[in-house]
Structure 1
């Protein structure tokens, strides 16, 4: 209620409006008018505060009246619900109240009790009991002998038949055995269903109790018929235990802690078989407000809700029925009522304030529009100025682009001249290397011709060697006449061992002269690589010559050539047992301009040429030092299938 009052009292703006100056002219008036303006404002403030106080008093009284009225309506609603639910519960029990007493005089019942061993009569009585309650299949009707053993039952043909069970300890049996009508509420030991038991003694002609007729009324069915939405309705037995509830969360709770005597009785009678824990209902701040009514806070899931609790005693059952009605609805309705009244009281004033605020906003908007227009004009002028500057910059950039293009043309001409000079320099280096390469075949020719005199039987083979070397000289001579950096030789599939064998034949005399032990490990299957026969002979000539130079100072010179195929790559490893590659020479080994000192006949130009040939054939050359001494050159080439 107070929240609604605070929502409705939105008049501090009016007070500030009264205190604020009406205009700049009023603020600039002389001291003679100041006392009069102050009195007017004070009068306005007093009137506003008085109106607020009166309105608050009216709203508070209205809220209090609404709370009382809604609470009274809620109490009446609770009483009506108690009457309806209590009548339904009493009817469910009373309709069978006389049935055990009527059956106690039935001939079938008396006949079975006189002869309890008769299976035929047991079957007849059980069927008769089932017909008696055929409209209520959830209820049970059964006959017990004087010792509490069940002789016949309406559920005789079900898995949970009571026939043969002993209920001599049950209070309803003990009451009937003593000659009284028995009443008892508990949980069935076989069915595990709660129910209300009615019993009546069966007497013989002498008035002696010879058995008991009992009926169990299943109240769970009635409980399931109660609506589960809305307020809570519970039934509390004489011990304060909630035995029925529209909200199953509160069933089997207690309204007050159970005494030790009550707990002992429950254990002996097995009234609530299987249940030993009965928690307290989560109620707090309980306060009685009338006959059979109280207020309390009910806590569920960590949330507390104000409740109106009403109860009514159920005559003849020693039970109480309770209803729990949510009082927060009363507070909500009171707040709505106060809010509606506040809107009626302050609505016109709020509309006036909204109109004044709207006019004020319009004035501020006009001022903001004027300021924005001024800013736009300034931006427009600034943009025009910047556009002119950008046009000048673009003109200068165009001139700079033309100048840059002219300089780039001159630079390209100078670059072409520099490249031509480089080509001529490289051509000189290559010519020197080729002439050096020509010296090796000529020396081989001289060696072969010398052998003609030493061994006449091999004249034919030596002459073939002379012819092969002569062809190589012709190939070198043709390449020497070509322009630098160009070749017309085509790449094709070449047997890798062919250029190796030709090169070894070229160095045969030098190998024997230096007493070099040469080992060749050939592959089992011929390997074909992409290349050119003349180029590959030049490549292997450079590598073998480098190995011969390296082992020149070795006491037992040795060169090893291993040819193998690893996946799609062919590898040729040429190793020697010379001094290896020094650290100073490793970084410039393939540099054509490097001239290492103290390393005889080693030329960076020759190795550069070999690396270039390997690259043209789709491979490359790597060099490293071996752990056991000497250097190792490894050539990798791409493997292809044999042509044709």
Structure 2
């Protein structure tokens, strides 16, 4: 027998080896490019989130600065007003007269009560307190010396003084505002000081989610929402500054101010500063933005949790990896498809090799799909036709807190069902079993294994096997807990913005309030002097008339203060029937001083037979107040003879139409589309919230707010509100 010839061993040709090396190089380059895309997408998302967070902090700082200016500025004119009273001047000229001292004590006590400040007191040129509003309390300032206080020395030099520190008598911190008391020869005889507590401001900060603090010119924290940061410094305090603080006894007996336990760093060109610290033993990471306080040597610092930026970066990485994984899966599918076509053309010759390669490729695809399902942030759950759980992915286990072994094979009720929602869970389960699941999903409240609530959106679809038979249901479960919390926070922020606008409107009327109060106070002084003269002459009739006039002016002052304070503090009483004429009259009454100072010609034409409106009286008054205030601001730029404001109302179908037409500068067409946008303003120092909040309030009442140019110059705002149903 002849021996069989040996089969030749196949060897790889040089072109095939070169092709394999080229393919490896291409895949390596694609992998590197994919990693670069993932990294860059994360950085881009982090940068954008950081800038958005800094913008939110600045807006929050603007609201806080507005509240701080209101808290420190509302009492600015109180010492100047008290310094003009005759009993104050008389006591400084004759400090030894007990009757004058008692009269001054009662005057300062009554004035302090009406103003709502903490303490109002009178100091002579030596620094000794002669009279105080708390004269009848155990912690009376009368007889105490405050000659070492900077607010006293500044006022004694003829300037107004402002100083924040701990009280020498009460030990309570506060803001001290002082004014000189001048005699007939313009010589400074003494000082009137008002103490204003900022406790309410600090208490409101302590309920804030993130830290807020206020530092003085030396960097010492004297107000903070974090108690352990109080009386620490953001930078080292030099020896001269420590000596000055001890001399002034600004912060009581404290002789040192340790630095805050912060690690401060800049994050590239991103806004603000990054601060690492510990609060209550827990490491925290914040983005901090500091803003100077107008007219005061203070700095307001507002912080926000910077971990949100890091989570945004991680989320961007996950999305990028998911997208690249889907692309890679598509590429693998295309590769398998091409390979299958190639194998079909040479089925006989490469049958065993094709089966082996295909099995290997399918194994890789299955492993890749399993890894992709495990990496999905969306929970996946499969149930058979009896409702028994047959599959859960890691995301679903993390969402409920149960391991896969604790869930597989379970029938309802499932352990993650919320005990308060059992009836609703059974309803959705029955709908699924009967094939009536909502195609757009339903919201479901679950209870985590550790007890906290998880709000989810559940989307269910039938599960069909390879033979086309119904094998159960597949559900995707999305965690929307944070989204619901964000929606709740947004609604709360909108309510805070409306209150911030009322405070901003009050700031604009501060000068009007000072002007309105100056006239009755001066009249009170004149009537009191006249009453004294009539009493000396024994003229009883004129004395009674002077006292009646004095009472009338005092009531007028109280009414002015009541209106302004009521505008700030009042809360909406809800929906009620309102007369439009009354709403307009109330808004004009609050702006009476500004109308007079503006010298505007005002014409109001509102028919008496107009039907009632159905709405919130306080919110509607706020809308009218903002619109009239904007019109007055617009007409100030034109000559006084041309200033005009017409307010007309009429019934138009089922609505009442109110028009406010001014002869001001008008609205530039280039910015007409931005007028109702939040934080857009052309007024210096404005917040840009007025018209945006006005439109929000009007639309909430099912009304409409529009504007147009007025023929001959000016602007016409048109307010349409539905009539109350009879």
* TM-score interval, smaller chain: 0.3 to 0.5
The structure, 1 or 2, with the larger RCO (C-alpha pairs under 8 Å, 6+ apart) is 1
* TM superposition score normalised by structure 1: 0.47
* TM superposition score normalised by structure 2: 0.42
